């Protein structure tokens, strides 16, 4: 029976060691699993932060792009409105009543000695301009106003309504824009 006691003793010791090894293995597995969960949570957290930053960056780009497109559309509308104002101004100049037209032309040529120069106008103003300038040079395809030129052609003053209106409009486009668009 001594052999049975030895076998039982070995079995009991083995069962204890197996239980201890199982306990240690379970603890090690739990530790590894816990570390893996922590790493996974860290990775998940980093990925969530990265995804949040990516979404925020994409949102900022989309908003910026939308604002740019809105600004571009707004500028196109402003441009169209300014062009409409310029067109109406040119139409008003073309329809000036005769007395206002002649007074304006007279005021335009006042600083110049027309005796030593040639003057050009549109067909409508030919009689009036030739009465002011003894050297009438002929007709031009213009809305109104005059072109004055020295006899030798070295000096030329463009006092046409188109040129004057363009210069006034270009020089005052900011003020016009402020009046129209605030």
Exposure pattern of 90-114 as b/e (b: 16+ CB <10 Å)?
beebeebeeeebbebbeebbeebeb
- Residues 6+ positions from 117 with CB-CB distance below 8 Å: 133, 135, 148, 149, 150, 151
φ, ψ (nearest 5 deg) of residue 133 = -120, 115
Architecture of domain 97-181: 2-Layer Sandwich (3.30)
Query: Which is it for strands 136-139 and 117-121: parallel, antiparallel or unpaired?
Result: parallel
Does residue 30 have a pLDDT over 70? yes
Q: Does the predicted TM-score (pTM) go above 0.85? A: no
Among the ranges given (72-86, 103-117, 166-180), the one the predictor scored with the smallest mean pLDDT: 166-180
Distance of alpha carbon 85 from alpha carbon 175, whole angstroms: 13
Distance of alpha carbon 122 from alpha carbon 112, whole angstroms: 19
Per-residue confidence band for 1, with pLDDT thresholds at 50, 70 and 90: low
Among the ranges given (1-5, 124-128, 171-175), the one the predictor scored with the smallest mean pLDDT: 1-5
Q: What is the DSSP letter of 153?
A: S
Distance of alpha carbon 104 from alpha carbon 97, whole angstroms: 11
Per-residue confidence band for 57, with pLDDT thresholds at 50, 70 and 90: very high
Contact 119, 137 (CB under 8 A): yes
The H-or-E segment that residue 32 falls in is: helix 2-94
Instruction: Encode pLDDT of 127-137 as tens digits.
Output: 999 999 899 99
- Per-domain residue ranges for the chain? 1-95, 97-181
Pick from 170, 125, 120, 121: nearest CA to 150 = 120
Among the ranges given (59-73, 76-90, 95-109, 147-161), the one the predictor scored with the smallest mean pLDDT: 76-90
Q: What is the pLDDT of residue 25?
A: 83
Overall average pLDDT of the 21-42 stretch: 87
């Amino acid at each position: 029976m001594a052999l049975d006691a030895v076998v039982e003793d070995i079995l009991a010791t083995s069962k204890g060691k197996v239980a201890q090894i199982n306990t240690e293995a379970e603890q090690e597995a739990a530790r590894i699993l816990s570390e893996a969960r922590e790493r996974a949570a860290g990775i998940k957290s980093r990925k969530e932060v990265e995804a949040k930053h990516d979404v925020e960056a994409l949102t900022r780009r989309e908003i910026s792009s939308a604002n740019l497109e809105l600004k571009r559309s707004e500028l196109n509308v402003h441009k169209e409105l300014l062009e409409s104002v310029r067109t109406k101004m040119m139409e008003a100049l073309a329809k000036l009543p005769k007395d206002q037209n002649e007074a304006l032309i007279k005021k335009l040529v006042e600083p110049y000695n027309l005796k030593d120069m040639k003057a050009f106008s549109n067909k409508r103003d030919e009689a009036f301009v030739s009465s002011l300038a003894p050297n009438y040079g002929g007709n031009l395809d213009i809305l109104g106003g005059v072109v004055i030129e020295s006899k030798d052609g070295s000096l030329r003053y463009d006092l046409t309504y188109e040129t004057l209106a363009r210069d006034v409009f270009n020089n005052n486009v900011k003020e016009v824009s402020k009046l129209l668009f605030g």
